[in-house]
């Protein structure tokens, strides 16, 4: 057996100093809530992939016109020489796919599908983002007021939410969109159609955001920092928008990312029914509407816009789920 190693008094005293030196060599740095959320989000590879796709979709939508010019595409250019006059179907396999038309051409008119997908991307995202902003603006303000003041104010706002939720939204949207097709508010054509869709979708969807914000506000209004703010003489508007609203950013962001794909589907549904974006302006829902007559003989024309909607909605949902887990770890 080896004899135990004896330590001298000077060595024993040196050990704590060595430990302290090691601690000082690598200082512990605090992280903000945003840094912690970003670290959690990066661990979710599926959510990161969804976020990358969302960024790419936004860039494609924002640069759709330059991309069309760069590729030499025109969404409204007819290519009758690519259409079989006997069947009204594209010549060649897979809907007329070629180097000049990578996704093929549409039946009957021969317009390039890739160009129309690019052109329809910005329409869908503008309507979806605009409607989401409108829903958030109304829902957040009324939700904050109802949750903070309570009592009769809460009762009135809650009954207003119930009333809006009771509307048959799809039928109401069809009726309003069909009524305002000719012109209104000094607008006509594409600006009118986009404005009407943003108003219809956003104005009648705000109760969902309002209920979420109201529920969170009811929980936050009894916290100590709210009592301290009141005790220092802060008024209602200050407490609402300086104390409560910053603490509701996380659920608002999460629900917004989940509301955007819903609005994309709603816009596509209205365009599919013929009361949304009107031809010749390209829209994904309108392309699906036109593909109904040809899906048995030319499925390519239905698959491409269908995949565009599917990928966009899936990417936003994956991003929303990842943000929910990152901003609220209790949801895991």
Position 331 pLDDT exceeds 70: no
Query: Distance between CA 155 and CA 210 in Å, rounded?
Result: 13
Alpha-carbon span 83 to 94, nearest angstrom: 13
pLDDT, tens only, 67-76: 888 888 888 8
Above 60 in pLDDT, residue 7? Answer: no
pLDDT in tens, 153-194: 999 999 999 998 888 878 877 887 777 766 666 677 788 888
Cα distance between residue 296 and residue 153, in whole Å? 56
More confident call, 97 vs 21: 97
Among the listed residues 330, 327, 167, 322, the one whose alpha carbon sits nearest the alpha carbon of residue 258: 322
Task: State the pLDDT at residue 17.
Answer: 54
222 — pLDDT class (breaks 50, 70, 90): confident
6: its two tokens: 């004896």
Q: What is the pLDDT of residue 38?
A: 79
Asked whether residue 108 carries a pLDDT value surpassing 80, the answer given is yes
Rounded Cα distance, 153 and 141, in Å: 13
Whether residue 19 has pLDDT greater than 70: no
More confident residue, 176 or 53: 53
Of 126-130, 201-205, 306-310, the poorest mean pLDDT is in 201-205
pLDDT computed for residue 259 by the predictor = 92
Which of the 8 DSSP states describes residue 240?
I
Using CA atoms, how far apart are residues 95 and 103, in angstroms rounded to an integer? 8
The residue that leads in pLDDT, 186 or 87, is 87
Q: Which two tokens stand for residue 47?
A: 């959510």
Whole-number pLDDT of residue 16: 56
The more confidently predicted of residues 2 and 199 is: 199
pLDDT, tens digit, 9 for 90 and up, residues 246-303: 888 888 998 998 899 999 999 998 888 888 888 888 899 999 998 888 888 888 889 9
Sequence length of the chain is 332
* Mean pLDDT calculated for residue range 97-109: 86
pLDDT at residue 37 is higher than 90: no
How far is 210 from 204, CA to CA, in rounded Å? 11
Residue 114: how many CB atoms within 10 A of its CB?
20
Q: What is the pLDDT of residue 11?
A: 47
**Residue written as token pair 């929980």:** 219
Average confidence score pLDDT of the chain: 83
């Amino acid at each position: 057996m080896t004899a135990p190693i004896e330590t001298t008094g000077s060595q024993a005293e040196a050990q704590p100093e060595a430990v302290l030196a090691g601690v000082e060599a690598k200082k512990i740095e605090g992280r903000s809530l945003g840094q912690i959320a970003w670290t959690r989000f990066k661990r979710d590879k599926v959510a990161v992939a969804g976020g990358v796709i969302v960024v790419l979709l936004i860039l494609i939508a924002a640069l759709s016109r330059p991309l069309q010019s760069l590729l030499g595409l025109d969404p409204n250019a007819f290519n009758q020489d690519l259409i079989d006059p006997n069947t009204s179907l594209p010549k060649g396999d897979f809907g007329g796919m070629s180097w000049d038309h990578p996704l093929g051409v549409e039946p009957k008119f021969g317009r390039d599908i890739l160009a129309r997908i690019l052109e329809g991307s910005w329409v869908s995202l503008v309507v979806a983002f605009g409607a989401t902003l409108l829903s958030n603006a109304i829902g957040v303000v009324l939700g904050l007021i109802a949750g903070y003041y309570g009592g009769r104010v809460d009762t009135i706002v809650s009954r207003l939410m119930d009333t809006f939720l009771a509307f048959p939204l799809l039928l109401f949207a069809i009726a309003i969109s069909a009524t305002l097709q000719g012109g209104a508010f000094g607008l006509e054509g594409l600006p009118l159609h986009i404005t009407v869709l943003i108003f219809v979708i956003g104005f009648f969807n705000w109760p969902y955001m309002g209920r979420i914000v109201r529920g969170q506000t009811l929980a936050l209004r009894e916290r100590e920092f709210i009592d301290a703010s009141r005790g220092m003489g802060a008024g209602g508007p200050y407490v609402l928008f300086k104390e409560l609203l910053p603490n509701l950013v996380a659920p608002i962001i999460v629900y917004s990312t989940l509301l955007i794909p819903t609005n994309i589907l709603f816009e596509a549904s209205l365009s599919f029914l013929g009361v949304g974006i009107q031809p010749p302006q390209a829209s994904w829902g309108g392309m699906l509407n036109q593909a109904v007559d040809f899906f048995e003989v030319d499925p390519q024309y239905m698959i491409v816009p269908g995949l565009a909607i599917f990928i966009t909605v899936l990417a936003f949902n994956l991003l929303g789920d990842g943000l929910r887990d990152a901003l609220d770890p209790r949801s895991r």
